Amino acid sequence: MNTRSQLRKEIRQRRNALSVTEQSNAATALTERLSNHNQIQQAKRIAIYLSNDGELSTANFIDWCWQNHKDVYLPVVHPFSKGNLLFLHYQQDTKLVSNMYGILEPQLDVTKVCPLQQLDIICTPLVAFDNSGARLGMGGGFYDRSLAQWQQTKLYPIGLAHDCQLVEKVPTESWDIPLPEIITPSKNYQFI
């Protein structure tokens, strides 16, 4: 087993060990941090994910977005372009289906797709991160592909994580895209 796989396993166990109360408190603190973030306050279109596998819950923040007239978009595994994501408009009545990984996503409807370059913010999940902005995902490279050209657009990526997901050093590969900012319940880490 390589170092990246070992780290994924260790950190996923760490975040899954958080109690219901710890998860709830973390989600509340995250929503507070995000809702006070200058770029999020100015954003119109925000892409985010539905939490899975012990990830920091995004449900409260999604509700805040709806209440504040922000358009919310969720990732959908692209049906024809292997390893890529589409971002579909998500509303309270959007029908969700399980994808091949067992993660809920909107049912594909091409009329609801928002091109990546038209998004203002993309909040990404991650398994582990370090103080340089390096992010370790689940290993599929979906977000690395989506973010490969983010600096040539208005899109601003923000990683979301529990405090316990910070590690000393994330082993990186050439295709890994570092993030300009990662937000945890207790801190905003900025790298640019």
| pLDDT-derived band at 141, boundaries 50, 70, 90 | confident
Ligand-binding site membership of 86 (annotated): no
CATH number at residue 19: 3.40.50.10420
Ligand-binding site membership of 50 (annotated): yes
Rounded-to-integer distance, Cα 108 and Cα 113, Å: 9
Task: Supply the Cα-derived Rg of the chain in whole angstroms.
Answer: 16
Ligand-binding site membership of 6 (annotated): yes
**Which tokens go with 9?**
């396993």
Q: Residue 170 burial (CB < 10 Å; 0-12/13-18/19+)?
A: buried
| Residues 165, 128 contacting (CB under 8 angstroms) | yes
Q: Count how many residues are written for the chain.
A: 192
pLDDT in tens, 150-164: 878 889 999 999 999
Ligand-binding site membership of 139 (annotated): yes
Report helix, strand or coil for 103: coil
Give the range of the structural domain holding residue 9, as residue numbers without chain letter.
Answer: 3-190
- Number of domains, the chain: 1
Ligand-binding site membership of 83 (annotated): no
| pLDDT-derived band at 143, boundaries 50, 70, 90 | confident
| pLDDT-derived band at 2, boundaries 50, 70, 90 | low
Ligand-binding site membership of 24 (annotated): no
- Look at residue 50 and tell me whether its pLDDT is greater than 90: yes
At residue 150, the pLDDT reads 85
Ligand-binding site membership of 54 (annotated): no
Rounded-to-integer distance, Cα 191 and Cα 87, Å: 25
Rounded-to-integer distance, Cα 156 and Cα 40, Å: 10
| pLDDT-derived band at 144, boundaries 50, 70, 90 | confident
pLDDT in tens, 56-108: 999 999 999 999 999 999 999 887 878 889 999 999 999 999 888 888 999 98
| Residues 56, 162 contacting (CB under 8 angstroms) | yes
Percent of the chain with pLDDT over 70: 99
Ligand-binding site membership of 135 (annotated): yes
Report helix, strand or coil for 124: strand
- Look at residue 1 and tell me whether its pLDDT is greater than 50: no
Q: Which pTM value belongs to this model?
A: 0.92
Whole-number Cα distances in Å, 20 to 25, 53, 55, 110: 9, 13, 12, 37
